[in-house]
Amino acid sequence: MSNFFSSSIGKKIIMSITGLFLILFLLLHLSINLLLIFSAEAFNTASHFMATNPVLKVMQYVLAAGFIIHITWASLLTLQNQAARPIKYNTNSPARNSTWSSRNMFILGSLIFIFLVIHLSDFFYVMKFGDMAGKSDYELVTSTFKIWYYALIYIVGFVFLGLHLSHSFHSAFQTIGLNNKIWMKRLKVIGTIYLFIVCIGFAIIPLYFLIPELF
Ligand code: HEM
């Protein structure tokens, strides 16, 4: 069993499973965050429920473990691949055989990690341990997005997320064994639809609060 976890395919399977779990989390996170646009009261109620419900409190630890395992295994796999191939091939043409995103998953993942650290210190940390200065959760998030450079950091973060996800969805299923040609095509389409919903959905939120401030 320990051989499985240390093998290259074992690491890839763990990354796929944690990646699919994070993909599901993003959909849930987006649905709650979209409440910001429709109702301050609904967002505050959902945010309070997410922070106090005992089952969801446990899920926060599962989520943190999902992120930590995904990031750690990605680093291990990248180091293992670099050690196995210290000299780059110049005989094949990577640009023709694969996409830019698929060749730069680790870099994109690292940029998303930086985004995540900024994001957690903006909201999660302040809500849990910081000084809310009498603000509600809704007021904290919306006042942040009214500052142009914060909104910009988030939109750039969503672009990185989009590029990372453009290779993630079908690739995760391929790794866990679903690599039949017809299903691969279908998964690429579903992955693209998911990618647009998530990235455009997230981007609308800072833009919705920033644009009225600019004019
Ligand atoms: C407009 C976009 C986003 C908004 C408004 C937003 C808002 C929030 C808020 C308010 C929290 C704190 C929730 C609480 O502690 O009760 C939070 C937590 C978190 N966010 Fe985001 N988020 C956005 C995008 C993202 C993205 C793109 C990711 C992943 C790449 C992400 C990952 C997380 C994680 C891991 C947590 C901590 C777990 C949790 O409390 O649910 N968020 N977010």
Domain, as residue range, for 95: 2-214
Q: Check pLDDT > 80 for residue 38.
A: yes
* Mean pLDDT of the 186-195 span: 94
Confidence at residue 86, expressed as pLDDT on a 0 to 100 scale: 61
Question: For ligand 1, what atom is nearest to the CA of residue 158?
Answer: 27
pLDDT attached to residue 139: 98
Contacts of 192 (CB under 8 A, 6+ apart): 166
What pLDDT does residue 60 have?
Answer: 95
**How distant, in Å, are the alpha carbons of 100, 167, 184 from that of 96?**
10, 16, 19
Q: Is 126 in the pocket of ligand 1 (CB under 6 A)?
A: no
Q: For residue 131, what are the contacts with CB-CB under 8 A and spacing of at least 6?
A: none
Q: How far is the CA of 91 from the centre of ligand 1 (A)?
A: 43
pLDDT in tens, 53-88: 999 999 999 999 999 999 999 998 888 888 876 655
pTM over 0.75: yes
Residue of 22, 119, 154, 209 with the most ligand 1 atoms within 8 Å of its CB, for mutation: 119
124 lines ligand 1 (CB under 6 A): yes
CATH, residue 32: 1.20.1300.10
Q: Is 206 in the pocket of ligand 1 (CB under 6 A)?
A: yes
Tokens 């919705």 belong to residue: 208
